[in-house]
Structure 1
Amino acid sequence: MSIKPNTVVSLTYELHTTNEEGQQVFVEKADEQNALVFLYGAGMMLPKFEEHLTGLNVGDEYKFELSAADGYGDLDPGAFADLPKDMFKDVDLPNVGDVIPLQDNEGNHFRAGVTAVHDTTISVDLNHPMAGKNLIFGGKILSVREATEEELSHGHAHGADGHAGH
């Protein structure tokens, strides 16, 4: 069976980006014991990621690169903010490089990277950590099957075999 909408895909992958010198930098991986399992076409994966997998079969290997625009977008120069230090009075002050959890006025949760610590403010980058970076994927297709009716109604896979429900 080939990968198409409404199939459950299990695959391995290694994700790399490139640094300023053009060298590949390892980000993360999913191996056969901890494979990535998802419902193809449900909107949970990057659209261009899925597009590159369309038509592949069990055992096929893949390698492709997504531009920043096709991944998590370009860096938004307006997505930086200075937060008052007194926001952190009940917790330890974050350090440069830390990723901190935040919440907006509507209750939405997101993360920000700390870029500087000043006398009265903490500077944060609100861009996705992978924004502005090309994404280089390589891996192997482990299994492809039709999604169950329950998975289709829930909008996500219930494991490689369809029985890891919730």
Structure 2
Amino acid sequence: MATVKNNSAVTFHFTIKLKDGSVADSTHAAGKPAKLVIGDGSLSDNFERCLLGLSIGDEKSILLNAEDAFGLPNPDNIHYMDRAKFVGDSEVEVGTIMAFSGPDGMEIPGIITEIAGDSVTVDFNHPLAGQDVTFEVEILAVE
């Protein structure tokens, strides 16, 4: 039976849980598993190392520190914008997640964290940055 090794194409279901046990994300909800190639850089090295050696049908619970999951919050990812830039029907409220155009034209999500007068603070860090998480994985296919 094939086991996960470097350059393996792996299809798997995952559930990401926070410290309090709440589910942050799950492929089960969408009914569509994730697929990646080990070593392609889409996951942290530590997370990939935890998958090595697993076979089809294996289930594993992996505790990841923030650095190995979604990284630590980067102060450079917090931007201050003029409230006048927010036009249209969308409400500008703390906690709102909005899509912004990045320098490369790609859309990047930002969460509004503070509004002070005409200044709106937007955090472009991943919503799970700085949090330790548990990944529960179930290996469906290894090619």
- What TM-score do the two structures reach when normalised by structure 2? 0.86
Paired residue for 1:6?
7
Segments of structure 1 that go 5 or more residues without pairing to the other structure are 146-166
Distance 1:108 1:138 in 2: 30
Segments of structure 2 that go 5 or more residues without pairing to the other structure are none
C-alpha RMSD of the superposition: 2.0
Q: Deviations over 1:49-102 (max 9, x none)?
A: 211000100111111111111122212345323210111124523221111122
Q: CA, structure 1 residues 60+113, in 2 after alignment: closer, same or farther (shift >3 Å)?
A: same
Name the aligned partner's letter for residue 126 of structure 2.
H
Choose from 30, 47, 50 the match for 1:49: 47
Distance 2:73 2:13 in 1: 28
Q: Percent identity?
A: 24
Paired residue for 1:17?
18
The number of equivalent residue pairs is 141
- Secondary structure of residue in 2 paired with 1:74: coil
1:119 offset after TM fit, Å? 2.6
Name the aligned partner's letter for residue 4 of structure 2.
I
Native 8 Å contact 1:94 1:100 kept in 2: no
1:105 offset after TM fit, Å? 4.4
Distance 1:89 1:140 in 2: 44
- Secondary structure of residue in 2 paired with 1:86: helix
Distance 2:102 2:23 in 1: 31
Choose from 130, 133, 136 the match for 2:131: 133
1:13 offset after TM fit, Å? 1.2
